[in-house]
Structure 1
Amino acid sequence: MGQASGREISQTKPKKVCTEDNNKEYEWADGILPLTEVPDDVLAEVLKRVPARDIVKSCVFVCKQWNNVINTQTFWKELCIKDNGYPEKLFHVLVDEDFKKLYFKRPYYTNLIKNPDARDDFDHWKIHHSGGDKWKVELPVGCNPLEEYTGTEQSKGTRCWVTSYSECSKSQTIDLIERGCSEHVLDDLRPDIHVSEWYAARFDCGIEYCIKVELLKNDRTAVKEWTFDDSQPAGREWFKAEHTFTDYDPGVRYIKYYHRGKDTQFWAGWYGAKITLSSVILEPKLNST
């Protein structure tokens, strides 16, 4: 009689996965869960960790189940909360919103100004006047570091626009519908609209500075506007111009953002107002409960 080899046959214990959302547990043998048997909520948890561009360009075409999971409002709502930082309460007040569009457009809680800090020179801005030696882009010189005022290291190395000895002005108009805002939010919720930017003089020359922001209807007539003018003597300080629009009439579809500046000594070169970190942020009003 032959002897047993003494080798034991091991049995693989079932392994488990637990989803984050509802703490459900699923078991499978051999550590492998067949693709066709992956529960929808487990699949959604996995897909939420995939870059969104890959989700819409590749994952959605894998199979019918993946397509069905991806093309749900719940999936994109959870991505909006996870990646965009949108508060859960926002989704209690939205009506007939496409959450996938909301995810990619990002119309709320983020700066809607394109090229807000001269990183792309004058792209997306319309220049009205470029007097004196014209507009210029620079890393700020003749003033204190901007990060000392913003309180964030992210401002370190931020570029700015600099004006000259005659008026320099430019503007940018934001199409709110094109940027992803809904008429319901604009007309019924009427979000707070926060506008701001930083400006400075130089240690050796004073400046004149102005910012004007208009909330416009479809026909480009103004619903509300805010203007701030300032003159500063020579100095190294940065100043923040800021305002919040509230309780404006319905019908806002565009925001026109305009600023201008120059120096006070009529010196050749670029001794006028420095301007950077232009910002327009829409913050929908949420229920307190």
Structure 2
Amino acid sequence: MSAACQDEWDLQGLPMPQSLDWKSVDEAKPFGRNLLKNPTPHGLSKDIAPPEPELSEVPMDGPPIFQPEGDFSGWTTNTEVLPYDSSGIPQGAVICALPQYSWFSLEQTVDLKAEGLWEELLDDFQPEIVIHDWYEESQVHQSIYQLHVKLLGADQSTVISEHSVNPTEDLSTYSHTWKEVSHVFSGYGPGVRYIHFLHKLKNKFMMSFFPTMFTGSSVVVNPIKTSS
């Protein structure tokens, strides 16, 4: 590895494998860039407030909608329609309509070696792995977002480290902005070869469709040595 690359990535002191193709590693630029594909499928920026929902006075035509629109290429998606929740409704009350909720999940698996990282680096140096995500704060429900990130071994089934987020929203005050979620994996131990990123957004249908948007999802490996 060239001294210039060592200076740029601050990897001094790590044994460098002789068989590694440093030209391909340098071209891959594995450090400091987002390893997730298509991180903004709704075309929205965290630096601009999310658009206000459009309220309709008449029901939508056609069947209910449970999945938001967007270009979700690069993601594996799934929609889970939840049963109606009638809890809290007084007995004998006449119900004209109930909201129906759905979870929309999106996931990706990052192959760290394919992205230019190498085994000695991952096992001995254990660079920081930084997770970021932004979701839309809304009045859809008190639980509208979940994040599950796993560091996996070579078999993609062994979980070496993981992090989950399941916040509860405050519906007492209206606030419509982006909420940041972040986590830094460090000192995770040897054997990490893949990162599995999964987040779920809750949507609501009642006369109209009210989605929960996200933007700026990222998985970034920083050339910073971690410790247990």
Same fold? TM cut 0.5:
yes
Say what the alpha-carbon RMSD is for the aligned residues. 2.7
Structure 1 residue 109: deviation in Å?
A: 1.4
Number of aligned positions between the proteins:
175
Partner residue of 2:40? 117
SS of the residue 2:102 aligns to: coil
1:272/1:286 Cα in 2 relative to 1: closer, same or farther (>3 Å)?
Answer: same
Answering whether residue 201 of structure 2 is matched by residue 261 of structure 1, we say: yes
SS of the residue 2:35 aligns to: coil
SS of the residue 1:285 aligns to: strand
- 1-side partners of 2:161 and 2:15: how far apart? 24
Partner residue of 1:174? 110
SS of the residue 2:146 aligns to: strand
Structure 1 residue 212: deviation in Å?
A: 0.5
Residues 81 and 103, structure 2, Cα contact 8 Å, conserved in 1: yes
1:182/1:88 Cα in 2 relative to 1: closer, same or farther (>3 Å)?
Answer: closer
- 2-side partners of 1:268 and 1:194: how far apart? 40
Structure 1 residue 131: deviation in Å?
A: 4.1
Please identify the structure whose Cα radius of gyration is greater: 1
Partner residue of 2:135? 199
- 2-side partners of 1:184 and 1:269: how far apart? 53
1:117/1:100 Cα in 2 relative to 1: closer, same or farther (>3 Å)?
Answer: same
- Aligned to 1:106, which of 29, 42, 62? 29
SS of the residue 1:166 aligns to: strand
TM normalised by structure 1 equals 0.54
Partner residue of 1:227? 164
1:268/1:165 Cα in 2 relative to 1: closer, same or farther (>3 Å)?
Answer: farther
Structure 1 residue 104: deviation in Å?
A: 1.6
Q: 4+ runs of 1 displaced by more than 6 Å?
A: none
Partner residue of 2:211? 272
- 2-side partners of 1:183 and 1:269: how far apart? 50
Residue segments in structure 2 that go unaligned for 5+ positions in a row: 44-69, 83-99
Residue segments in structure 1 that go unaligned for 5+ positions in a row: 1-72, 133-163
Answering whether residue 165 of structure 2 is matched by residue 237 of structure 1, we say: no
Residues 201 and 271, structure 1, Cα contact 8 Å, conserved in 2: no
Residue type of the partner of 1:122? F
TM normalised by structure 2 equals 0.67
Structure 1 residue 93: deviation in Å?
A: 3.4
Structure 1 residue 268: deviation in Å?
A: 5.0
Structure (1 or 2) with the greater helix fraction: 1
- 2-side partners of 1:268 and 1:284: how far apart? 50
Structure 1 residue 117: deviation in Å?
A: 1.0
Answering whether residue 154 of structure 2 is matched by residue 218 of structure 1, we say: yes
Which of the pair has the greater relative contact order for Cα pairs under 8 Å at 6+ separation?
A: 2
